[in-house]
Every structure is written in structure tokens, then in C-alpha cells.
Amino acid sequence: MQTATSRPPFLTRVKTWFWEHYPDLRPRVSGKPGWSGNGMVATLNGTGFMFERRDRFAEAFIAYAAEVRRPVLEVGCAYGVSTIPALERGAIVTASDLDPRHLEILKSKVRPDLLPNLTLKPGALPDIDFPGNHYAAILCSRVLHFLRGEDVDASIRNMAQWLAPGGRLYLVADCPYGIWRRAIPQFESGKANGERYPGLIVGLHNFLATPPAKPIEQPPFMNLMDPDILSRACREAGLEVIDAAFIPRPDFGGKGSMDGRENCGVIAVKPAAA
């Protein structure tokens, strides 16, 4: 029960403010938790959305998961937009998310005959842990930009350890070239000056495509990235980058989409001799 001195959770306040100022981007969630009708599903913990349209990096993870014999892992799986099709194609999947309620919804959407191939584990990066040298592939999509730089580095090092030799890491993160376009000058200047994570923005109202009517009282942060930043972190963790690119997301709609650089992705491989 909320008292006079308590406040709603921080990310819930951010989410409420965002909908007040950007109602055209609000997902039309149906009465069934974990579903929506327009390609965006709000998370239950107020941290953002699961996008029902998968990018090519998530599709590549699913295809690879169907080919390998070892288990695969999705970190930040939300309601299973990538986990479920991987299971349906024969993969053995461990699915992890910050919110245990997301995992319960995911489980409810999996065919009963596939449940033996699914393991669920709640937890958050960088503190969650998994067995070393175990997974043939790991997908971490649209999670890292919620972490500060040192936690991004630690998380990618951990995921490199969890991969089996020859295993593949699939990463996707937000870029400044979309809804956060007012961060572009800071990002590009900081990158040119050698800043390690130039996309760390505090006070999201200062960086949204359209200036809001009022600021967020206690601003959160986003850590916007690009293919170079993700690639560097993977190489420093001992991985070989085999694909790195911007990801166009015209489906974001409105001012969430800009010029085809809305997200970025990387695929990196753990050396077989590691």
C-alpha cells in the first residue's frame, strides 16, 4: 500500500510520463498479459516493451539454435518472442528474465510437449550466473542499453564464459538514431574524443525526439550504443566478431524510427580452443 512518503517504482514513473507525452507510441495491450495487437507488448515491471517483430539477429539465433545439440540461452527473454520459436524448431532453451512473472507467462504459451526442453531462471545482468562453457548460443536483445558501461563489460565477459567453445553470442542494443536522436551530438562527439560509452544519457526528457512539456523528476539513464561499441566489448571478452551492423526498425513508428540505424547488433564467436 502506498503511503504519503512512498512513491511508485522509479521505472513505473518514467513509463507513466512517457505515455503522457507520446500517446501515439503506446501499445494497445489486450486483456491477456503478455500480448498486444500492434507489435509492442508492455513489460509488467515498467522497463519497456517486448517487440513482437524480430530483427535479423534474433532470427539468426533461432536458426542456429535449431541446428545445434547443446542448450542455448536467452537473457532478457520477456514473454518469449525468440525463446518460443527456438523451442518449436527443436532447441533446448534456458530462458531468463528480470521479472519472474514474464517467465510464467512465457511458460503458459509453450506447447506442453516442448516444456521438457525449457528451463526458466529469473535474474538480472550482470549478477545472474550460469554454467561455464555450456551454451551453444546466447541471445541478449535490447537489454544492455539499460546497464552502465562497467556492467555492460561485465555482462559480456560473463556471457563469453557461459558459451561453449565455438558458441555464438547475439547482442542487440538501442542506438541514438531514433527516438533518442537529440543524443546524437553528445554520442558522436564523445566517441570522437575516445569516450568508452559516449551514449550514457541521464534525463531522458533531454534527448527525446520531441521536447516534452515537463521533465522527468528523477531521470533514469540509457546507455546508447553502436556496432563499434558492442564489437569492442566482445573482442575484449575474448570473442571473435563475425557480424556487426545497424538494424533498421521502421516498425517502431512515429519518431521512434529515423534512418535505419535505430538498433545495432553483433554476432561473436568463442574460439574453439578457448
What residues contact 128, with CB distance under 8 A and at least 6 apart?
75, 96, 121
Q: For the segment 231-253, what is each residue's pLDDT rounded down to a tens digit?
A: 999 999 999 999 999 999 887 77
Q: For the segment 126-170, what is each residue's pLDDT rounded down to a tens digit?
A: 999 999 999 999 999 999 999 999 999 999 999 999 999 999 999
Q: What angle do helix axes 227-236 and 149-162 make, rounded to 10 degrees?
A: 50
- 3-state SS, residue 231: helix
State yes or no: pLDDT of 8 exceeds 80: no
Residue-level pLDDT at 218: 44
Domains of the chain and any CATH numbers? 39-177+225-269 (3.40.50.150)
Q: For the segment 186-213, what is each residue's pLDDT rounded down to a tens digit?
A: 999 999 999 999 999 998 888 888 877 7
Weakest mean pLDDT among 41-55, 64-78, 117-131, 166-180: 41-55
Task: Tell me which residue of 98, 56, 28 sits closest to 263, measured CA to CA.
Answer: 56
State yes or no: pLDDT of 270 exceeds 50: yes
